[in-house]
Amino acid sequence: MTGTLGKGMDVKGKRVLVVGLGKSGVASALFLESGGARVTVSDAKSEELLRQEIPALLDRGISVETGKHGERTFRDQDLIVVSPGVPFDVPPLQQARRLGIPVIGEIELAARFVSGTIVAITGSNGKTTTTTLAGEVIASGGAKTLVGGNIGTPAITFADQSSPETWVVLEISSFQLESIETFAPHIAAVLNVTPDHLDRHGSMENYTAAKSRIFENQTADDFAVLNADNEITAAMATGLKPQVYWFSRIKEVERGAFVRGGDIVFRGPKGEQEIMPVAEIPLKGAHNVENVLAAVVVGALAGVEPAKIRRAINQFKAVEHRLEYVATIHGVQYFNDSKATNVDATIKALESFPGNIHIILGGKDKGSDYSVLNALLRQRARRVYTIGAAAQKIESQIGDSAPVTSAGTLEVAVRKAAQMAEEGDVVLLAPACASFDQFNSYEQRGKAFKEIVQDLAGHARGQGSAD
Positions annotated as catalytic residues are 127, 150, 197
Pairwise CA distance, residues 294 & 310, whole Å:
13
How far apart (Å, rounded) are the C-alpha atoms in residues 449 and 407? 14
Task: Specify whether the CB–CB gap between 92 and 40 falls below 8 A.
Answer: no
Q: Encode the chain in three state secondary structure.
A: CCCECCCCCECCCCEEEEECCCHHHHHHHHHHHHCCCEEEEEECCCCCCCCCCHHHHHHCCCEEEECCCCHHHHHCCCEEEECCCCCCCCHHHHHHHHCCCCEEEHHHHHHCCCCCEEEEEECCCCHHHHHHHHHHHHHHCCCCEEEEECCCCCHHHHHHCCCCCCEEEEECCHHHHCCCCCCCCCEEEECCCCCCCHHHHCCHHHHHHHHHHHHCCCCCCCEEEEECCCHHHHHCCCCCCCEEEEEECCCCCCCEEEEECCEEEEEECCEEEEEEEHHHCCCCCHHHHHHHHHHHHHHHHCCCCHHHHHHHHHCCCCCCCCCEEEEEECCEEEEECCCCCCHHHHHHHHHCCCCCEEEEEECECCCCCHHHHHHHHHHHEEEEEEECCCHHHHHHHHCCCCCEEEEECHHHHHHHHHHHCCCCCEEEECCCCECCCCCCCHHHHHHHHHHHHHHHHHHHHHCCCEC
Length of the chain: 467
